[in-house]
Structure 1
């Protein structure tokens, strides 16, 4: 018998147990669904999909700011074993067209803001419908009477990674892989899905927004609150939503957390319900952890990839991991740090992280992640950086996160993104985008690389010194909300500082 990893079947079972429990909230519009209403919406949309010719293996793209429709579409599609392809509305139309063609999408569903893009995609032969159209389909359809298909190794979703070369790359996730990813999260974060309220401020085109804890909590009877990113997202709106809906768990990248804490310090708010702040997508530095603790938050550091359904390692507040550590692997993840393909790294020796497990797309084969790390004498993992981001300057390797952490300790620096630039003499030089702190804004016009390197002479090795900078108001980001090294390199390359 096919294993039962179906999110539609899980949602139906939740409705039988807790039909009137709050299920879905659109924090932008205020619209709400009970579990019973969510199931009815999904069942009606599944019927409409079937009547439109959407069935097993059909690829349906979803483009728009975070909304309940992303999750409703996915679960309705799973009823028929169709495949969801969440895409970022921040991508240009030409890139989205290429991505849809790459995965063989035949339908695109979109929000109102993405209508121009969707019209352009329709010219390539894709069928399209807006979220408003989907609501009308639901209103006019009768609920699906046949039970949802059981789902196991069938393809569930295709998500695009940022790509180390700047070219998004599709990753195929089965229902089984996504289920094991969520199981890792349940045990790693120690939460009960039926009593959790999850906020989604990470883009749903990112694994941390699409699957993570969000799909698990919603389909098993908890409450899911979508917060609009990257459309109407704003820090004050997110803070207000945390207090209003008593959000207990939410994933965010470090840059968003910094913005939320700064807004909290400016205007206050109620963060008391946010007992599981999940931080990932980039290294969580010791200073960020201290900043969060100062406002009453106990950060949970999580490292993962799309290929691991988001679950790689975790450092919980009470595990005893040293500041900035990645912690330990999730319960159902095997992990190695390999100095070479034949040699596992010794304590303190840098190597590439390899993972395998039921929640990893490679299964029992080792997945070479491209992330570099070390283990300390006590076995704790410490992220060094992405292998492709390492800077080779005169034969010395520089890890950008090391320099970024040092820059952030300066009173004049709020944030930094370090990249390598080609150089005829040194091969590469260390360069940085600098976001000045409030104290540093008055000095921004005179800020220069030599002064920053001098200020950090005791913290960085000579080859780690920053040799070129550009001062910006905010760091460029990828469509998934992570700092964008490629865009940073273009900006700093033309700087004269």
Structure 2
């Protein structure tokens, strides 16, 4: 069984059910989506038989269609992150060997810049922009002219996704359809998704979590996906209300924004029964706010691009009992928490830590990747003795539940003591006047690194002395972990579109 087998089953079982709906009113049933993606697959074959395509687009039915059409061709779709720069995107494409770039109007200028910088030979414009240029074709015209019926499959690729690049340059991670079928199946099991569900898609489609934990499982189950082009809290809540949506995927920063918006507007969210989140810490306060204002079905999950299927999940009951936990290993995974090591040569996958201790999360699953494309050294550090190194540090409680502490490479060494920024951030985030916080290490002649915090607040009278007193008096923060320097700001801190703090950007912007 693989992704296209699962889609074919949904088409057979639910041909007249809406597969996708859009925020501009379009609807395609499973039968219609099947026909459109057959035609798109044939059109792409006519342009570049057996060769990969790349897609640079905001959320839309065409992004999902390029994914399914690629499954039908068996040739991977390169899922480009539209927030990256043209130079960055061109660099991502270098090891990929893609021939065709599919782009939408919102990304037309960037797409043509990438086209000129790369070895791409053709482009397809979703909205018809720039089709007066040589080798740029109109998406709808290609579909209209393409024959019906499925082309012969070349292989079993799903496509290529990219790491978030929060601690290093983005890396290309290939997956086949069998690997991501495990991801879809696992999510269906975690949240009991079925063909009656209506799920809102608002996070960028190209991320692994959106692909493997949202789009693919709902298509596999025969459910309906409502597509929002980009996140906007009032519009997100309106779409949830209008479509009686049962499910939502949102990172914690989005959940905070949605909770705030519910206090300003009148939204009926009675149908909403499950919210999937992850990417950054889910605090006890956020969990309470979501239960009060959105729904009581909050699932906290943990994963990474290289993992394919998410590694852990905490169901709503567990999340209420143990706020912030990422739960235990999910259905397709075997996990361990082991002593951290900077390099593969010193890494021991058998050195498991005891309850109450911290270590690096490692795992193995039939759905995980087999390495990075064109990066053999990085692959050797990622995969050791069959185990996937996540680079994430977690604490294990007495019941075996995991709590992410931080990234291994975010660790600050101050006065010879190891400090993980996220531990300090979690304490500062409980201050009533703090809305966002990022902690980093600054070079220091005496301490090696000194701990510094950038704090966002909406209260003009918050000062460094207040924060210093708060941290000094807090019984969960050892003195050596206390920040020695504070910067107080009113603007939002730099984050990735999955809600993770961009620490290098914080350092550059504020220090």
**TM norm. shorter chain > 0.5:** yes
- The Cα shift of 1:81 comes to 0.9
Secondary structure of the residue that 1:369 maps to in structure 2? strand
Secondary structure of the residue that 1:129 maps to in structure 2? strand
Which residue among 140, 159, 172 is the counterpart of 1:170? 172
Which residue does 1:429 correspond to in 2? 450
Which residue does 2:375 correspond to in 1? none
Give the Cα separation in 2 of the matches to 1:249 and 1:168: 30
Which residue does 1:40 correspond to in 2? 35
Which residue does 2:288 correspond to in 1? 290
- The Cα shift of 1:296 comes to 4.5
> Is 1:141 aligned with 2:162?
no
- The Cα shift of 1:74 comes to 1.0
Give the Cα separation in 1 of the matches to 2:41 and 2:338: 46
> Is 1:191 aligned with 2:155?
no
Give the Cα separation in 2 of the matches to 1:195 and 1:77: 26
Unaligned runs of 5+ in 1: none
> Is 1:413 aligned with 2:427?
no
Task: Give the aligned CA root-mean-square deviation in angstroms.
Answer: 2.0
Secondary structure of the residue that 1:103 maps to in structure 2? coil
Which residue does 1:361 correspond to in 2? 369
Which residue does 2:374 correspond to in 1? none
Relative to structure 1, the CA distance from residue 273 to residue 430 in structure 2 (aligned partners, 3 Å threshold; closer, same or farther) is farther
- The Cα shift of 1:183 comes to 1.6
Secondary structure of the residue that 1:240 maps to in structure 2? helix
Residue-by-residue CA offset, 1:317-339 (whole Å, 9 max, x unaligned) = 12475121111110120000002
Retained in 1: the 8 A contact 2:166–2:503? Answer: no
Give the Cα separation in 2 of the matches to 1:464 and 1:399: 8
Retained in 2: the 8 A contact 1:374–1:381? Answer: yes
Give the Cα separation in 2 of the matches to 1:331 and 1:213: 16
Give the Cα separation in 1 of the matches to 2:442 and 2:202: 33
Which residue does 1:461 correspond to in 2? 478
Give the Cα separation in 2 of the matches to 1:392 and 1:12: 53
Unaligned runs of 5+ in 2: 128-137, 341-347, 371-382
Residue-by-residue CA offset, 1:128-172 (whole Å, 9 max, x unaligned) = 1111322221122221255x6496xx3311111123533111111
Alignment of 1:44-443 (within 5 A): 44-55=39-50, 58-123=51-116, 124-126=118-120, 127-132=122-127, 133-146=138-151, 149=153, 154-192=156-194, 194-229=195-230, 233-298=231-296, 299-319=298-318, 321-339=321-339, 341=348, 342-362=350-370, 365-437=386-458, 440=459, 442-443=460-461
Retained in 2: the 8 A contact 1:208–1:251? Answer: no
TM-score (norm 1): 0.90
- The Cα shift of 1:384 comes to 0.9
Retained in 2: the 8 A contact 1:477–1:483? Answer: yes
Relative to structure 1, the CA distance from residue 32 to residue 433 in structure 2 (aligned partners, 3 Å threshold; closer, same or farther) is farther
Residue-by-residue CA offset, 1:353-381 (whole Å, 9 max, x unaligned) = 01001122259811111111121112111
Relative to structure 1, the CA distance from residue 221 to residue 190 in structure 2 (aligned partners, 3 Å threshold; closer, same or farther) is closer
Secondary structure of the residue that 1:242 maps to in structure 2? helix
- The Cα shift of 1:285 comes to 1.4
TM-score (norm 2): 0.88
Residue-by-residue CA offset, 1:69-93 (whole Å, 9 max, x unaligned) = 1110011111111111111211111
Secondary structure of the residue that 2:263 maps to in structure 1? helix
Give the Cα separation in 1 of the matches to 2:328 and 2:48: 45
Relative to structure 1, the CA distance from residue 479 to residue 292 in structure 2 (aligned partners, 3 Å threshold; closer, same or farther) is closer
